[in-house]
Amino acid sequence: MLQEYTVSNLERNANSEQSIWQNNSVLIQLLGLSPVLAISTTVTEGVALGVATFIVLFLSCVSVSLVQSYINYTWRLTWFLVIMASYTTALEILMQWHYFQLYKQLGIYIPLICCNIAILIRMESKSSKVPWKHAALDSARVGAGYILTIVLLAGLREFIAYGSILNNWQLLIPSSLIADNSQISIHDGQLFRFASLQPMALILLGTIVAAKNFADSIIAKRSNTQYEPIVAVQRVRVTGRLKK
């Protein structure tokens, strides 16, 4: 049994008010990184996955807030996952119907939206405890921050790797509006192939995080406030004590 419990800055951020810049789920909390690193090869794919995640996040958080009084506390996580999976499945079917080429590009990361820990944390820490209007506003901020981050990272990677932005934008148009004989532009050359690989995605994301922290420190100095970088809690062993 734990002898001491210390709440880290990261845990406090998860329970605090969300904002696009100050408490970004990717840049600050470092949550949901797998799809961000894997799909951010082009702006088109980044926009698609960001919007898809936003839809599931928004609907799931609002739904949890509306039915919070009917959810048994012991089984709350199970119900959260069921709600997330339901909206993810519905979204996947709609994408197969109207955006099949884009769905094939995104692959497994559409059904994996229901496993995004950033969504689950907002449902648990915020949406299940506040009225639906507050849950809607909070989830909209989280989703907007997620879209902004993945599009920024995707734009950098696409420009470095291919020297273009939104080269395959036609994938964002519903299949019913595209002529059968139309050709979707696909990247046929690479300026810097390493930028399209996951290691470069991690390097660029780390650079963005570092740039944000540097900007925050400059802003804090100009406003005469103390800047406190996030320090995660360290655990000695499973049954040991938590320490800073």
Give me the pLDDT at residue 3, please: 38
Give me the pLDDT at residue 166, please: 82
Dist. CA 133–CA 191, nearest whole Å: 47
Give me the pLDDT at residue 23, please: 75
* Sign of the alpha-carbon dihedral angle for 10, 15, 16, 19: positive
Reading the chain (244 residues) residue by residue, the pLDDT tens digits are 433 333 445 455 555 555 677 778 888 888 888 889 888 889 999 999 999 999 999 999 999 999 999 998 899 999 999 999 999 999 999 999 999 989 998 989 999 999 999 999 999 988 889 999 999 999 999 999 999 999 999 999 999 888 888 888 888 888 777 655 455 555 555 667 777 788 888 999 999 999 988 988 888 888 776 555 555 444 444 444 545 4
* Cα distance between the two ends of the chain: 18
Give me the pLDDT at residue 5, please: 36
Give me the pLDDT at residue 186, please: 54
Give me the pLDDT at residue 220, please: 81
Dist. CA 98–CA 119, nearest whole Å: 25
Give me the pLDDT at residue 51, please: 95
Torsion of CA 191, 192, 193, 198, to 10 degrees: -140
Whether the predicted model's global pTM rises above the 0.75 cut: yes
- CA-to-CA separations, 23 to 8, 16, 147, in angstroms, rounded: 14, 8, 14
Question: Which two tokens mark 113?
Answer: 């939206």
Q: Are 162 and 192 in contact (CB under 8 A)?
A: no
Spatial neighbors of 16 by CB under 8 A, at least 6 apart, are 23
Give me the pLDDT at residue 7, please: 41
